[in-house]
């Protein structure tokens, strides 16, 4: 049995064509089904539906053989025990620093002020500001980061941006680009060895189907 871990929403939708290219079709839609284990057209392949940030953990421990996870999530997780053979080039966005439109970020940084930064991506934020030599107090949030600067919880946020519409709608501006983000295929290293005959052809089919 090959178990593939996916999260609902854009990753599931954008991974489906790649699965199809490998001859794998989901028999149920996770958006309408309450099942967490979804059968496929192949008796030896199943999909499990987990939180986006939990995908690396399932694959790391071998509960899933393969998964699809955003680079944002992989950076936070650290990638221990994971083989990352393919950039699938899906769910593309950017990791950015954003502040209120009326906040003078450059002079705050220049003056060496201690910056309060709210984010779900604590590790990414810590690494980014440490590399710049900017002192920060990090505040861990689990969602809706855009709210934090508006109500005085923080000076800045570190968050994913694609169109920038959410920032604009909340009177925020992006001031720094940290990284380009896309989703990666992750494979359990032991599974790759033990189930090489099953997994390698899937990897080859995914690689061929990636839209550059
Ligand atoms: P949850 O909603 O369960 O807390 P999440 O918000 O991280 O998890 P999604 O919003 O579905 O889940 O994001 C899943 C992945 O999609 C992220 O890890 C990231 O790699 C990517 N992603 C997030 N936001 C965007 C975006 N605006 N545009 C493109 N890709 C994105
Ligand atoms: Mg979400």
Cα 134 versus chain centre, distance: 25
Task: Note whether 26 and 71 are same-domain residues.
Answer: yes
Give the pTM: 0.96
Environment class of 140 (CB within 10 Å of its CB; exposed 0-12, middle 13-18, buried 19+): exposed
Query: Do residues 104 and 135 both lie within one domain?
Result: yes
Q: In what order do the strands lie in the sheet with 115-119?
A: 136-140, 115-119, 156-161, 93-100, 172-181
Q: What domain range includes position 148?
A: 93-180
Model pLDDT, residue 177: 98
Rg of the chain in Å (alpha carbons): 19
- Cα distance between residue 160 and residue 145, in whole Å: 10
Task: Using the atom order of ligand 1, give the atom closest to the CA of residue 71.
Answer: 20
CATH number at residue 136: 3.40.190.10
DSSP string computed for 31-92: TT---SEEEBSSTTEEEEE--GGGHHHHHHTTSSSEEEEEHHHHHHH--TTEEEEEE---S-
Same structural domain for residues 160 and 108? yes
Task: Find out whether 93 and 181 touch, Cβ atoms under 8 Å.
Answer: yes
Provide the domain count of the chain.
2
Is residue 43 located within the same domain as residue 79? yes
Can you give the pLDDT of all 212 residues of the chain as single tens digits?
999 999 999 999 999 999 999 999 999 999 999 999 999 999 999 999 999 999 999 999 999 999 999 999 999 999 999 999 999 999 999 999 999 999 999 999 999 889 999 999 999 999 999 999 999 999 999 999 999 999 999 999 999 999 999 999 999 999 999 999 999 999 999 999 999 999 999 999 999 999 98
Nearest CA to ligand 1 atom 13: 52
Residues 103 and 33 in one domain: no
Do both 154 and 165 map to the same domain? yes
- 83 shares a domain with 7: yes
SS3 content of the chain, % helix, strand, coil (to 5): 35, 30, 35
Residue 79 Cα to ligand 1 middle (Å) = 18
pLDDT at position 128, please?
98
* Pocket probe mutation, ligand 1, options 7, 84, 119, max atoms within 8 Å of Cβ: 7
- Residue 119, strand partner residues: 140, 158
pLDDT of residue 84: 98
pLDDT for the residue numbered 138: 98
Q: What is the pLDDT of residue 62?
A: 98
Q: Which amino acid residue places its CA nearest to atom 14 of ligand 1? A: 52
* In contact, 119 and 127? CB cutoff 8 Å: no
């Amino acid at each position: 049995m090959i178990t593939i871990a996916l999260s609902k929403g854009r990753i599931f939708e954008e991974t489906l064509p790649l699965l199809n290219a490998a001859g794998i079709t989901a028999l149920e839609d996770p958006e309408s089904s309450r099942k967490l284990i979804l059968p496929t057209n192949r008796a030896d392949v199943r999909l499990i539906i987990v939180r986006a940030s939990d995908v690396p953990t399932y694959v790391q421990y071998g509960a899933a053989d393969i998964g699809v996870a955003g680079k944002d999530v992989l950076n936070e997780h650290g990638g221990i025990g994971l083989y990352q053979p393919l950039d699938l080039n899906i769910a593309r966005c950017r990791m950015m620093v954003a502040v209120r439109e009326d906040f003078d970020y450059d002079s705050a940084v220049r003056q060496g002020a201690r910056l309060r930064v709210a984010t779900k991506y604590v590790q990414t934020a810590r690494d980014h500001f440490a590399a710049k030599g900017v002192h920060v107090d990090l505040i861990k949030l689990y969602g809706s980061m855009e709210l934090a600067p508006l109500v005085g919880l923080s000076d800045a946020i570190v968050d994913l941006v694609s169109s920038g519409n959410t920032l604009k709608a909340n009177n925020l501006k992006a001031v720094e680009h940290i990284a380009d983000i896309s989703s990666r295929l992750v494979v359990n290293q032991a599974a790759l060895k033990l189930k090489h005959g099953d997994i390698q052809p899937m990897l080859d089919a995914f690689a061929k189907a990636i839209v550059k």
